[in-house]
């Protein structure tokens, strides 16, 4: 097995201030890698980590805007480019989300559809286009896209019904965008295969994050392992796809969901 501490790559994480993005960031800080974080809002924990880690560099960036990404690409290119791209940034839809993101189908505003698609699909596409093209020119790399069980299955709305005194609907936007990521992965994996750029997809289950007790109970009843994922349980899967341990793997979906999709 590859020694984690000896792992030495240049890694770009979008949404590095988010729940899972920070977990990936902290994990790779245990290696010899240089980590670049792109996020629209850099939170205090990431800033604090930066003070104690010279291998961490962060940039404020709206990944839906190609010119912003390209400006950062030019800065990173001068530092040696990127070996690994983790497309983690996304707008999720949880009981804590803004009301506009969790509207039922008949009330969902078109502008909200566009906003979610811009972040969840346009953003990863632009990052792949810019940084993936650089990898192809430089002799290879690994792109890790992050999807969801709702990219391969429709949400069971019974899990979400009336968990906060009012009915919550897992919206169509999240499912459609995460499904799109899956086919984007397959397309790019064949497009860049001859350039030694591997493109794979993580399909993740729900993460425990102080959700309402009723929701957690409903969700866990559908999981064979009987629980939600802890926020650090996906780190080694990301490491596997970033490293040479997955050197013969491209265009694949790695499903980690506690067995949710096995029923």
pLDDT above 70 (res 89): yes
pLDDT above 80 (res 160): yes
pLDDT in tens, 188-236: 999 999 999 999 999 999 999 999 898 999 999 999 999 999 999 999 9
**CA atoms of 174 and 188, how far apart (whole Å):** 21
Confidence band of 165 (pLDDT split at 50, 70, 90): low
pLDDT in tens, 26-38: 999 999 999 999 9
Segment 99-123 shows an average pLDDT of 94
Segment 91-102 shows an average pLDDT of 85
Could you give the number of structural domains in the chain?
1
**CA atoms of 145 and 91, how far apart (whole Å):** 14
Segment 127-147 shows an average pLDDT of 98
- Residue 234: its pLDDT value, please? 98
Segment 61-67 shows an average pLDDT of 98
Q: Provide the residue range defining the domain that includes 40.
A: 4-262
Q: Cβ contacts of residue 256 below 8 Å, gap of 6+?
A: 202, 203, 204, 205, 229, 233, 234, 237
pLDDT above 90 (res 104): no
**CA atoms of 219 and 17, how far apart (whole Å):** 25
Average pLDDT of the residues of the chain: 95
- Residue 94: its pLDDT value, please? 80
- Residue 164: its pLDDT value, please? 61
Q: Cβ contacts of residue 70 below 8 Å, gap of 6+?
A: 130
Task: Write the CATH number for 111.
Answer: 3.40.50.720
- Residue 243: its pLDDT value, please? 97
- Residue 20: its pLDDT value, please? 97
Q: How many degrees, rounded to 5, is the angle at CA 75 between CA 243 and CA 136?
A: 45
What is the percent of the chain where pLDDT is above 90? 88
pLDDT above 70 (res 162): no
Q: How far apart are the first and last CA of the chain?
A: 32
- Residue 142: its pLDDT value, please? 98
- Residue 14: its pLDDT value, please? 98
pTM of the full structure: 0.96
- Residue 134: its pLDDT value, please? 97
């Amino acid at each position: 097995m590859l020694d984690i501490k000896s792992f030495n790559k240049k890694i770009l994480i979008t949404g590095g201030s988010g729940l899972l993005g920070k977990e990936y960031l902290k994990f790779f800080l245990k290696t010899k890698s240089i980590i670049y974080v792109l996020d629209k809002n850099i939170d205090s924990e990431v800033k604090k980590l930066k003070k104690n880690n010279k291998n961490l560099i962060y940039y404020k960036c709206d990944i839906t805007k190609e010119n912003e990404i390209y400006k950062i690409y030019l800065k990173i290119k001068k530092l040696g480019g990127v070996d690994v791209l983790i497309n983690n940034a996304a707008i999720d839809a949880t009981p804590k989300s803004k009301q506009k993101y969790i509207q039922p189908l008949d009330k969902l505003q078109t502008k909200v559809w566009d906003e979610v698609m811009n972040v969840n699909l346009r953003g990863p596409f632009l990052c792949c286009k810019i940084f993936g093209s650089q990898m192809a020119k430089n002799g290879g790399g690994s792109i890790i896209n992050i999807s969801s069980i709702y990219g391969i299955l429709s949400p069971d709305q019974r899990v979400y019904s009336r968990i906060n005194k009012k009915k919550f609907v897992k919206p169509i936007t999240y499912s459609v965008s995460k499904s799109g990521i899956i086919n984007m992965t397959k397309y790019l994996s064949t497009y860049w295969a001859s350039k030694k750029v591997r493109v794979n997809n993580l399909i993740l289950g729900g993460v425990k994050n102080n959700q309402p007790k009723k929701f957690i109970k409903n969700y866990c009843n559908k999981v064979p392992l009987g629980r939600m994922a802890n926020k650090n349980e996906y780190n080694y899967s990301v490491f596997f796809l970033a490293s040479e341990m997955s050197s013969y793997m491209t265009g694949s979906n790695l499903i980690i969901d506690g067995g949710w999709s096995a029923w």
